[in-house]
Amino acid sequence: MVAHVQTPTASSQLGAKGAGEAGSAGAPGAVMNAINDALLPQGAAVFSQPFTPEKILRALRKVA
């Protein structure tokens, strides 16, 4: 049996609470680490999001 349990909170205007967002919080850091691991042999790194091809090429000094 599946049932919804609703217990609104008084700490927000809508009564809403978080719903598992913390599980996705680590993904951007993991992507940044993967990109920088790949760029390391070239002596390049990116540190600002979003991670775009242009930022990666700029870090590699391939575009101005």
- Condensed to tens digits (0 to 9), the pLDDT of residues 29-60 reads 999 999 999 999 999 999 999 999 999 999 99
- Concatenating the DSSP letter of every residue in the chain gives ---------TTSTT-----SGGGGTTHHHHHHHHHHHHHGGGT----SSS--HHHHHHHTTS--
Per-residue pLDDT tens digits for 11-24: 888 888 777 777 77
* Residue 15 is assigned to a structural domain of this protein: no
* Residue 4 is assigned to a structural domain of this protein: no
User: What global pTM score does this model have?
Assistant: 0.63
Q: Judge whether 33 and 47 are in contact, CB under 8 Å.
A: no
Please give the residue range of the domain that contains residue 44: 25-59
* Residue 30 is assigned to a structural domain of this protein: yes
pLDDT recorded at residue 64: 67
* Residue 47 is assigned to a structural domain of this protein: yes
Round to whole Å and give the CA distance between 42 and 64: 17
* Residue 2 is assigned to a structural domain of this protein: no
* Residue 16 is assigned to a structural domain of this protein: no
Total domains in the fold of the chain: 1
The larger pLDDT score, comparing residue 63 to residue 34, is at 34
